[in-house]
Amino acid sequence: MAADNTMEISSILQGGYQHPLSRSWQARRHLTKSMLMYPIFITDDPDASVDIPSLPGQSRWGVNRLDEFLGPLVKKGLTSVILFGVPLNCVKDERGTPADDPTGPVILAVRKLRALFPELYIACDVCLCEYTSHGHCGLFAADADTPGTLDQGPSAARIAEVALAYARAGAHCVAPSDMMDGRIRAIKRAFIDAGFANRCTLMSYAAKFASALYGPFRDAAGSAPAFGNRKCYQLPPQAKGLARRAIQRDVAEGADIIMVKPALPYLDVIQDAAQLAPDHPLACYQVSGEYAMVVAGARAGVYDLRVMAFETVESMVRAGCTLILTYFTPQFLDWLSE
Q: How far apart are CA 317 and CA 313, in angstroms?
A: 7
Output the 3-class SS for the chain.
Answer: CCCCCCCCHHHCCHHHCCCHHHHHCCCCCCCCHHHEEEEEEEECCCCCEEECCCCCCCEEECHHHHHHHHHHHHHCCCCEEEEEEECCCCCCECCCHHHHCCCCHHHHHHHHHHHHCCCCEEEEEECCCCCECCCCCCCECCCCCCCCCECHHHHHHHHHHHHHHHHHHCCCEEEECCCCCCHHHHHHHHHHHHCCCCCCEEEEEEEEECCHHHHHHHHHHCCCCCCCCCCCCCECCCCHHHHHHHHHHHHHCCCCEEEEECCHHHHHHHHHHHHHCCCCCEEEEECHHHHHHHHHHHHCCCCCHHHHHHHHHHHHHHHCCCEEEECCHHHHHHHCCC
Taking CB under 6 A as the rule, which mask of x and - marks residues 254-293 in contact with ligand PBG? Answer: ---------------------------------xx-----
Q: How far is the CB of 270 from ligand PBG (least distance, A)?
A: 16
Is residue 199 part of an annotated ligand binding site? no
**217 binds, options Zn ion, ligand PBG, none, Cβ within 5 to 8 A by partner type:** ligand PBG
Question: Is 127 labelled a binding residue?
Answer: yes
> Under the criterion CB under 6 A, does residue 127 sit at the interface with ligand PBG?
yes
Least CB distance to Zn ion at residue 137 (A): 3
* 218 marked ligand binding residue: yes
Residue 150 interacts with ligand PBG (CB under 6 A)?
no
**Contact window for ligand PBG (CB under 6 A) among 26-34, 162-170, 216-224, 298-306:** 216-224
257 binds, among ligand PBG, Zn ion, none (CB under 5 to 8 A by kind): none
Rounded to an integer, what distance in angstroms lies between the CA atom of residue 328 and that of residue 288? 10
Q: Which stretch binds ligand PBG (CB under 6 A): 89-97, 105-113, 123-131, 264-272?
A: 123-131
Please say whether the beta carbons of 265 and 275 come within 8 A.
Answer: no
Whichever of 125 and 272 has its CB closer to ligand PBG, that residue is 125
* 133 labeled part of a ligand binding site: no
Closer Cβ to ligand PBG, 137 or 164, answer by number:
137
Return the residue of 108, 122, 137, 317 that touches ligand PBG, per CB under 6 A.
Answer: 137
Minimum CB distance to ligand PBG smaller for 197 or for 266: 266
Q: Which does 173 bind (CB under 5 to 8 A by kind): ligand PBG, Zn ion, none?
A: none
- Does residue 127 belong to the site contacting Zn ion (CB under 5 A)? yes
For the segment 268-307, give every residue that binds Zn ion (CB under 5 A).
Answer: none
Beta carbon of residue 224, minimum distance to Zn ion (angstroms, whole number): 10
Q: How far apart are CA 259 and CA 274, in angstroms?
A: 10
Q: Is 261 a catalytic residue?
A: yes
Residue 112 known to be catalytic = no
For ligand PBG, give the closer residue by CB, 137 or 309.
137
Contacts of residue 235, Cβ cutoff 8 Å, sequence gap at least 6: 179, 207, 208, 209, 210, 242, 243, 246
CB-based closest residue to ligand PBG: 217
By C-beta, is 191 or 214 nearer to ligand PBG?
214
- CB neighbour list of residue 311: distance below 8 Å, 6 or more residues apart: none
Task: Enumerate residues 162-201 that contact Zn ion by CB under 5 A.
Answer: 177
Q: Which residues are annotated as a binding site for 5-aminolevulinate?
A: 218, 230, 288, 327
Active site amino acids: 208, 261
Where on the chain is the footprint of ligand PBG (CB under 6 A)?
A: 125, 127, 129, 137, 177-178, 214, 217-218, 223, 230, 287-288
Q: Which residues are annotated as a binding site?
A: 127, 129, 137, 218, 230, 288, 327
